[in-house]
Amino acid sequence: MYDGMPRPLSFSPARRRRSLRAAAVALAAALLAAGCGSSDGTVQDPKTTASSAGGFPVTIDNCGVKTTYDKPPSRVVTIHQHPAELMLALGLKDRMVGTAFPDSAVLPELEKDYESLPELAKKEPSFETVLDAEPDLVYGGYGSAFAENEGRSRKAFADAGIDTHLNREYCGKKRVTMRDTYDEIRTIGRIFGVPDRADRLVTDLKGRVGKAATTVEGAPEPSVFVYDSGDKTAFTAGGRSLGTELIRLAGGKNVFADLDDVFGDVSWEQVVTRKPEVIAIYDYAGAGSVEQKKRFLLSRPALADVPAVKNKRFVVLPLTATLVGIRSAHAVDDLARALHPESFR
In this predicted structure, what is the pLDDT of residue 51? 38
Other C-beta atoms within 10 Å of 65: how many?
16
Buried b (16+ CB within 10 A) or exposed e, 234-265: bbbbbbbbbbbbbbbbbbbebbbbebeebbbe
The reply to whether 181 falls in a domain is no
Rounded Cα–Cα distance for residues 196 and 187 (Å): 12
Domain that holds residue 162: 52-172
Q: What are phi and psi of 278, to 5 degrees?
A: -140, 145
State whether 156 and 222 are in the same domain: no
The reply to whether 46 falls in a domain is no
The reply to whether 298 falls in a domain is yes
The reply to whether 241 falls in a domain is yes
Give how far Cα 74 sits from Cα of 8, 45, 69, Å.
26, 16, 11
State whether 217 and 336 are in the same domain: yes
Q: Which residues pair with 66 in a beta bridge?
A: 61
State whether 217 and 318 are in the same domain: yes
In this predicted structure, what is the pLDDT of residue 5? 30
In this predicted structure, what is the pLDDT of residue 345? 86
- Which of 128, 154, 172 delimits the end of a domain? 172
State whether 303 and 222 are in the same domain: yes
CATH number (domain holding residue 87): 3.40.50.1980
Q: Which residues pair with 100 in a beta bridge?
A: 79, 121
Rounded Cα–Cα distance for residues 68 and 190 (Å): 11
With beta carbons less than 8 A apart as the criterion, state whether 92 and 139 touch. no
In this predicted structure, what is the pLDDT of residue 172? 82
In this predicted structure, what is the pLDDT of residue 259? 95
In order along its 345 residues, the chain shows pLDDT tens digits of 223 333 333 333 334 334 433 443 343 333 333 333 333 232 333 333 333 446 899 999 999 999 999 999 999 999 999 999 999 999 999 999 999 999 888 999 999 999 999 999 999 999 999 999 999 999 999 999 999 999 999 999 999 999 999 999 998 877 899 999 999 999 999 999 999 999 999 999 999 999 999 999 999 999 999 999 999 999 999 999 999 999 999 999 999 999 999 999 999 999 999 999 999 999 988 788 999 999 999 999 999 999 999 999 999 999 999 999 999 999 999 999 999 999 998
The reply to whether 187 falls in a domain is no
Of 80, 240, 61, 238, the closest CA to residue 144 belongs to 80
The reply to whether 47 falls in a domain is no
Amino acid, single-letter form, for residue 233: T
State whether 168 and 230 are in the same domain: no
In this predicted structure, what is the pLDDT of residue 40? 29
pTM: 0.82
In this predicted structure, what is the pLDDT of residue 173? 72
State whether 217 and 315 are in the same domain: yes
In this predicted structure, what is the pLDDT of residue 256? 98
In this predicted structure, what is the pLDDT of residue 34? 38
The reply to whether 1 falls in a domain is no
Total domains, the chain: 2
In this predicted structure, what is the pLDDT of residue 286? 78
In this predicted structure, what is the pLDDT of residue 43? 32
Instruction: Give me the long-range contacts of 3-7 (CB less than 8 A, separation at least 24).
Output: 4/148, 4/149, 6/148, 6/151, 6/153, 6/155, 6/156, 6/159, 7/127, 7/151, 7/156
In this predicted structure, what is the pLDDT of residue 222? 98
Of 238, 246, 233, 298, the closest CA to residue 262 belongs to 238
In this predicted structure, what is the pLDDT of residue 54? 60
